[in-house]
Structure 1
Amino acid sequence: MVKRSLQASEVGIQQAKKAFAYKGWTQENLAFEVNLKTRQPIWRFFSGRPVERHIFIEICSVLSLNWREITANSPKEFSQSKELGTAEFLDIDALVQLVRSQRFDKIQNQCGTLQLLDVSRPVRIDDIYIDVNILEEIASFQWLEFADLQKFTSKEFDRFGLGEVSQTQIAGMTAVETYSKLRVLGKPGAGKTTFLEHLAIECNRGKFAANRVPIFVTLRDFADETRVAGEFHLLNYICKEFLTCGISDPSVLETLLLSGRVLLLLDGLDEVLQQQSIGVVNEIRKLSEKYQKNMFVVTCRTAAKALNLRRFTDVEIAPFSQDQIVAFAQKWFTALTKTNVQDKQEQAVEFTRQLDLPENFQFRRLAVTPLFLHLACWVFHQQNKFPTQKAVFYKQCLDLLLNKWDETKGIERDEVYEGFLLPQKLKLLSQVASATFEQGNYFFEQHIVERYISDYISDLPNASTEPEELQLDSEGVLQAIELQHGLLAERVRGIFSFSSLTFQEYLTARQIVANHNLQALEQPLERLVSHITEPRWREIFLLTVAMLRSADFLVQLMKQQVDALVAQDPYLQKFLTWASQKSLAAPLQPAAIRAFYQALARTPHLTQHFTLACILDPDFSQVRKNH
């Protein structure tokens, strides 16, 4: 039988002390990480005394050590020569614990670390993971009229369909415990894989589904092996995975499945190539129906919801709340920066403070997704502030979604729009963004966006002239953009929008700048200036100014437009005349005095200064009232 306690060797103690010193913790800190009430087991561990088996393994896991290398006498039952079978086990609980122990290192190595974008070293999942929330009602499954969505303002747009308006959220763990067959949907970078890996680690440690054996399968790896083998057989694939842990008897897995003692985690259904997806879905269906007592969790991008899994409950990962953003920032700056603990905490606090400033509202829009929140933390860490050149950050986010994100994960996609390079993808999306934003539409019906895509495709070399073929091509391109990049999203059935209003604004500005630079014409900027009194165009103006080679001409057009508007308004003329007269009577520079009175008139909420101005000049109150 399995030994109930383990103790560290002298060499193992030295390795453990070195890893412990690197963490910079006290024994109380380590006890907390291992979920112990006292530090006595920690003291016994470092003293070379026997420690309960599961505690010993957990201490080594937290210290990123291989427990077999630390143990004084590695248990014989884990030798590679011994075959694990079921005949010697009458107690299923004993079998579960033995299989979990034998596969412990496998799960830790498979799921215990993350490779974050632009970070040179792996990060322990415990150091960065934030508990996710789940939406049980998926907005894109709903039916709504287009007219119902047109009433949303830009701020309401950011909340619509993201669970912040009326949908109830539940904890991710609660959803897994509630539904034995669960499909977790989410947009690119929403944290689906990380959530699944966290489930595997927690189950591995006995903190979640302690009576089950966690099995983590990357579905694209399963599909790739199937492509070589020529047949889909998920059970055989898992048996081979068990074999790498020294479990060669297939009856072990069969016994666990029949007893309902498996937590099967299947990651990335959307990452399977289209020609293999039906076979993979059928294998998941057969396994989940044959062994119904087990727990099944599958992850998939929201846009791939057409890959239907019968009798599975669909839920969607909710965007980060303010509390989750704060918690993530604290963990991020603690885990990924090399400054001292106090500086890390101070930088995390400063990050969240600046993120809530009005001038950083566009960063806040994107930071509800773990992927972009990580990028925001990384950018902020470089200079302890957010960049003033927001367009550069937005371009990085778009490049990531359009190309780099799949590359970093090694995902091969079906190239529906083969031959589209990154500039062409940006050009197409810019045209869609500009046309819809110009019309005042944050939401647009599917046939509208397909028409824009069709117009773009028809201008390409060797494009089909058949309307039906163009229609099919535009449908395929729209599906690819939604699934592969997540930049266009179906908010409710048949109605799309950009995944973030920030992307629609950036791409609209990009289209204006591109038209101006390529054609060397004034019309694009003149059309932009015609919107100078519309608040929703404010960010477009700021982005355009930042992206132009020279903004002198645009600023001149803006000045001319403002002058023309002022000239047509008798009330403004009267106010400016009054301000000019006040400046002539003062000993200071006239321009400064005019600016003072105009500023007070624009900011009456500054009551202290406004009241003082009225005391010094009773006429000011009357003029402000008239204007």
Structure 2
Amino acid sequence: MARRSLQASVTGIEKAKRAFKRTGWTQEDLACEVGIETRQPIWKFFTGKPIERRVFLEICFRLDLDWQEVAILPSDNTSVVEEEQHQSHIDTLLQTVRSRRYDKIHTQCGVIRLLDTAQPIELNDVYVSADVLDKTNERWLDASQLHCLHVEKLNRYSCSQAYQKRISAMQAVATSSKLMILGKPGSGKTVLLRQIAIKCNQGELLANRFPIFIRLQNFAEDANEIQNYNLLDYISQELGKIDVSAQQVETLLDSGKALILLDGLDEVPEEDKAEVQKQIRKLSEKYDKNHFIITCRIAAQQYWFEEFTDVEMADFSFSQIEAFTQKWFVNTNNSFRQEESIATQFIQKLLLPENQPIRELAKTPLLLHLICSMFQAGLDFSAKRSKVYKQALDVLLVRWDEVRGVKRDSSFYYHLPLLHKIKLLSQIAIITFEQGHYFFTQCNLLRYIKDYLRTLPNIPDDLEELQLMSEAVLRSLLAQHGILVEQAQGIYSFSHLTFQEYLTARNIVASFEPEQLNQNLIKLTIHMSKPRWREVFLLIVEMLENTDALMQSMQRYSEELMASDEKLHQFLVWVHQKSLSVEAPYKPAAIRAFYLTLDLCSKLSLARDLSLALAIDTKLASNLAPELALDLAAIRTLSLILALPDDPSCEQILALNSALPHDLALICHSKLQLLLQELKNQISTFNQDDDKLKEWWNAHGQTWVNQLKSQIIWYRNVGYQWQFNEQQKQVLQQYYAIQHLLLHCLKSSGEVSSTVRQQIEKTLLLPSSESRKLLESTKSKYLKLGLV
């Protein structure tokens, strides 16, 4: 067996230095060439200290040296034999420790108790391979850069993960002997650390070491009780339970045979943190050949360990969400087939567009477990999404620390009642959301906190004291919950846009005073046409005990929006009149929606978008009623004609002929049919003669186009060129978005009265004049029946 370490002789060092100088490398360059993480072994080599044999040989190879001319070689075989015996003793001791601790490690790390579950389960039954973010190349962004980023492109706030390299967690463990794993609450840090211990225990990872798993909160409590913070003694006591002496422990540590896993640095009580951190530093420096991994919440990292590499837990990818879901539903229940089917349903519903906010929360493992639990209870989570968000906040604010017995600190914030914590976050949410700010500076965030603290009793008037208190509250908010996160230096956001939306909605409906609530709802209607407020409206509809006032305010606002412009009002009048003139087995509002989008100018993005009509009446998805199909064909034909340039080429005219409807029998009016047939005949006649085709078009084309337009308008009352200006087009887009939102809110709310529901359904998309008539007529009818 070869010696386990080598060291350079005085003459060997001189040779190596001359060879090293010729390369022009730095010690960091040489370390990179050798394939080691730090330059410490390089420094030891050049100072004549013993280093690992493999590294020594590799350094000599890279410097083109004969290692036997550089190393101190034994004068006889005695030391070699002694070293072989020593190595054999260490290997035997290692295998003894691994064997005796196998069951202990499996019990300690291989079984997990999930939140709100009746019994523990095997870790492998729910664990999925995790990824981490390489933070060594992390770059800082400033506020202007973040504000330029599109929120949807950042996966609704995962911007810290948008530009960082994603690698396998096990790859990071294998390549870094000293690792600090950072992460938000519930991101899976402890589960990953336990899995590392299990894989090492089973010989699948770092098999030449034995795992020691220490929950740092327990270590701090035990050390505080006996006033001995010596981490080496703590490890020796643990191994002493399997008859391993303190001297044997030191032998193993000196030989680098331990995988030391230190969980939850952020969970250590404040009064013990300095001493615990000191012990970790001393142990990792003295026994630096061992493998060390520490976990800590990302916002609670207050201490920098010199030789440790920082990585951050990555959010779950969708494939990881699928894998976890499949395992969760199958292994946390007894009926395999049934739960496998439920897992499939879960994924199908999670993929629905309306469940995107929940899909974003599911990227956090703890919240994914919560969502799975809620889904299993009701086999759905879209009907009352606000309940999911409320439970998620409750877990992060209180329950996750409570179930693990973690006391964060004894600060002012810790003793602040839960309601005030929620109100503080809600106030920050609504201020920033109304401003359209997804990212906010530390200065502004501290100002929002100070403004809220001033509303509480017994708060100091001194501005400096209040500033310090606000800074302490911000530190606690960041470290304890993971609801607010630092996205870049001095720039913050909510960890999920979903939380900002939910807390904004909560702030609006939280008032117990009816008058204040009504004012909040009336003020809310001005945001109806803004896409980013859509989720807030839907959440508010879920939260309100009665949504009549909100629904009526929303409809009044949409009517007034169009009534303020005479041309837009007349457009709605035409839509209404046209809908009355056709016979179709659809709801009147659906017919109005059909013609609203059918006759708009093609420059509007919603032209001929039938999604609103289909949302009102799904029967439009099947074969259209004859009159609607006729008008649709007429408008499409007109659009093809109007799309031609003033002086079309022969190729464009021929292309028009191919695009015109083949089923001319659909055009039931003879004049329209004759016009279309005439065009097709003429183009066919000149199909092989470009000059004559162009001559005919120049002579008769524009006349034919004008005749067709007038006939479509005369016979079908469609095809008007409304010539809306830019402002009118913008109002139409807003009006359309509002109708979609109003309809969605109506379908989502179970708390709207049948009277108001019927009124809105009847008056949807009506001009304000017709809407008032209908409402007055309905009111008169109810009066006669004694219902009002």
Above 0.5 in TM-score?
yes
| Selected match of 2:633 from 610, 615, 624 | 615
Please give the per-residue CA displacement for 1:257-287, whole angstroms capped at 9, x wherever unaligned.
1111111000000001122111111111111
CA contact (8 A) 2:508 2:517 kept: no
Tell me how far 1:346 sits from its aligned partner: 2.1
- TM-score, length-scaled by structure 1: 0.81
Could you tell me which residue of structure 2 aligns to residue 105 of structure 1? 103
CA contact (8 A) 2:214 2:263 kept: yes
| Selected match of 1:174 from 171, 175, 182 | 171
Tell me how far 1:450 sits from its aligned partner: 0.9
Q: Where do 1:125-204 residues align within 5 Å? A: 125-137=123-135, 142-158=139-155, 160-161=157-158, 165-204=162-201
CA distance in 2, matches of 1:392, 1:413: 27
Could you tell me which residue of structure 2 aligns to residue 10 of structure 1? none
Could you tell me which residue of structure 2 aligns to residue 544 of structure 1? 540
Tell me how far 1:547 sits from its aligned partner: 1.1
Q: Structure 1 pair 330/412, CA: closer, same or farther in 2 (3 Å)? A: same
Could you tell me which residue of structure 2 aligns to residue 8 of structure 1? none
Q: 1:364 and 2:382 equivalent?
A: no
| Selected match of 2:415 from 407, 419, 433 | 419
CA distance in 2, matches of 1:550, 1:414: 41
| Selected match of 1:322 from 318, 325, 334 | 318
CA contact (8 A) 2:166 2:314 kept: yes
Q: Structure 1 pair 207/550, CA: closer, same or farther in 2 (3 Å)? A: same
Tell me how far 1:384 sits from its aligned partner: 2.2
Report the secondary structure of 1:150's partner residue. Answer: helix
Tell me how far 1:137 sits from its aligned partner: 2.3
Q: 1:380 and 2:368 equivalent?
A: no
Over aligned residues, Cα RMSD in angstroms? Answer: 2.3
Please give the per-residue CA displacement for 1:303-325, whole angstroms capped at 9, x wherever unaligned.
01222222111110100001111
Could you tell me which residue of structure 2 aligns to residue 579 of structure 1? 575
Could you tell me which residue of structure 1 aligns to residue 221 of structure 2? 224
Tell me how far 1:543 sits from its aligned partner: 0.9
CA contact (8 A) 2:160 2:487 kept: no
| Letter in structure 2 aligned against 1:129 | Y
Report the secondary structure of 2:408's partner residue. Answer: coil
Tell me how far 1:334 sits from its aligned partner: 1.1
Could you tell me which residue of structure 2 aligns to residue 238 of structure 1? 235
Q: Structure 1 pair 613/212, CA: closer, same or farther in 2 (3 Å)? A: farther
| Letter in structure 2 aligned against 1:176 | V
Report the secondary structure of 2:289's partner residue. Answer: coil
CA contact (8 A) 1:239 1:253 kept: yes
CA distance in 2, matches of 1:301, 1:158: 22
Q: 1:604 and 2:608 equivalent?
A: yes
CA distance in 1, matches of 2:429, 2:545: 22
| Selected match of 1:447 from 443, 448, 454 | 443
CA distance in 2, matches of 1:450, 1:543: 28
Q: Where do 1:409-558 residues align within 5 Å? A: 409-416=404-411, 417-515=413-511, 517=513, 520-558=516-554
Q: 1:345 and 2:340 equivalent?
A: yes
Tell me how far 1:626 sits from its aligned partner: 5.7
Tell me how far 1:95 sits from its aligned partner: 1.7
Report the secondary structure of 2:155's partner residue. Answer: helix
Tell me how far 1:625 sits from its aligned partner: 8.2
Tell me how far 1:521 sits from its aligned partner: 4.8
| Letter in structure 2 aligned against 1:169 | R
Could you tell me which residue of structure 2 aligns to residue 304 of structure 1? 300
CA contact (8 A) 1:157 1:501 kept: no
Q: Structure 1 pair 109/624, CA: closer, same or farther in 2 (3 Å)? A: farther
Q: Structure 1 pair 591/536, CA: closer, same or farther in 2 (3 Å)? A: closer
Report the secondary structure of 1:530's partner residue. Answer: helix
Tell me how far 1:96 sits from its aligned partner: 1.3
| Letter in structure 2 aligned against 1:326 | E
Could you tell me which residue of structure 1 aligns to residue 29 of structure 2? none
Tell me how far 1:590 sits from its aligned partner: 4.6
Report the secondary structure of 1:311's partner residue. Answer: coil
Query: Which deviates more from structure 2 when the two are superposed, residues 299-308 or residues 511-520?
Result: 511-520
Tell me how far 1:612 sits from its aligned partner: 5.7
Query: Which deviates more from structure 2 when the two are superposed, residues 592-601 or residues 317-326?
Result: 592-601
Q: Where do 1:330-341 residues align within 5 Å? A: 330-339=326-335, 341=336
Identity level (%): 45
Could you tell me which residue of structure 2 aligns to residue 208 of structure 1? 205
Tell me how far 1:501 sits from its aligned partner: 0.7
Could you tell me which residue of structure 1 aligns to residue 699 of structure 2? none
| Letter in structure 2 aligned against 1:310 | E
CA contact (8 A) 2:440 2:493 kept: yes
Tell me how far 1:516 sits from its aligned partner: 6.3
CA distance in 2, matches of 1:187, 1:210: 30
CA distance in 1, matches of 2:157, 2:221: 38
Report the secondary structure of 1:91's partner residue. Answer: helix
Report the secondary structure of 2:167's partner residue. Answer: strand
* Count of paired positions: 538
CA distance in 1, matches of 2:294, 2:514: 47
Q: Where do 1:553-564 residues align within 5 Å? A: 553-564=549-560
Could you tell me which residue of structure 1 aligns to residue 258 of structure 2? 262
Could you tell me which residue of structure 2 aligns to residue 288 of structure 1? 284
CA contact (8 A) 2:477 2:484 kept: yes
Report the secondary structure of 1:103's partner residue. Answer: helix
Please give the per-residue CA displacement for 1:428-458, whole angstroms capped at 9, x wherever unaligned.
1111111111111011001111111111112
Please give the per-residue CA displacement for 1:241-271, whole angstroms capped at 9, x wherever unaligned.
1122x22411221111111111100000000
- TM-score, length-scaled by structure 2: 0.65
Query: Which deviates more from structure 2 when the two are superposed, residues 509-518 or residues 167-176?
Result: 509-518
Q: Structure 1 pair 89/396, CA: closer, same or farther in 2 (3 Å)? A: same
Q: Structure 1 pair 521/357, CA: closer, same or farther in 2 (3 Å)? A: closer
| Letter in structure 2 aligned against 1:233 | N
CA distance in 1, matches of 2:598, 2:373: 40
5+ residue gaps in structure 2? 1-84, 600-605, 611-620, 636-711, 725-788
Report the secondary structure of 2:310's partner residue. Answer: strand
Query: Which deviates more from structure 2 when the two are superposed, residues 328-337 or residues 615-624?
Result: 615-624
Tell me how far 1:578 sits from its aligned partner: 2.3
Tell me how far 1:392 sits from its aligned partner: 1.3
Tell me how far 1:229 sits from its aligned partner: 1.5
Report the secondary structure of 2:534's partner residue. Answer: helix
CA distance in 2, matches of 1:331, 1:464: 52
Q: 1:408 and 2:411 equivalent?
A: no
Could you tell me which residue of structure 2 aligns to residue 30 of structure 1? none
CA contact (8 A) 1:113 1:124 kept: yes
CA distance in 2, matches of 1:525, 1:323: 40
CA distance in 1, matches of 2:474, 2:589: 54
CA contact (8 A) 2:142 2:489 kept: no
Query: Which deviates more from structure 2 when the two are superposed, residues 88-97 or residues 113-122?
Result: 88-97
Tell me how far 1:507 sits from its aligned partner: 0.6
5+ residue gaps in structure 1? 1-86
Tell me how far 1:367 sits from its aligned partner: 0.4
CA distance in 1, matches of 2:307, 2:567: 67
CA distance in 1, matches of 2:607, 2:361: 30
Structure with larger Rg: 2
Tell me how far 1:216 sits from its aligned partner: 0.2
CA contact (8 A) 1:232 1:279 kept: yes
CA contact (8 A) 2:355 2:382 kept: no
Report the secondary structure of 2:305's partner residue. Answer: coil
Could you tell me which residue of structure 2 aligns to residue 274 of structure 1? 270
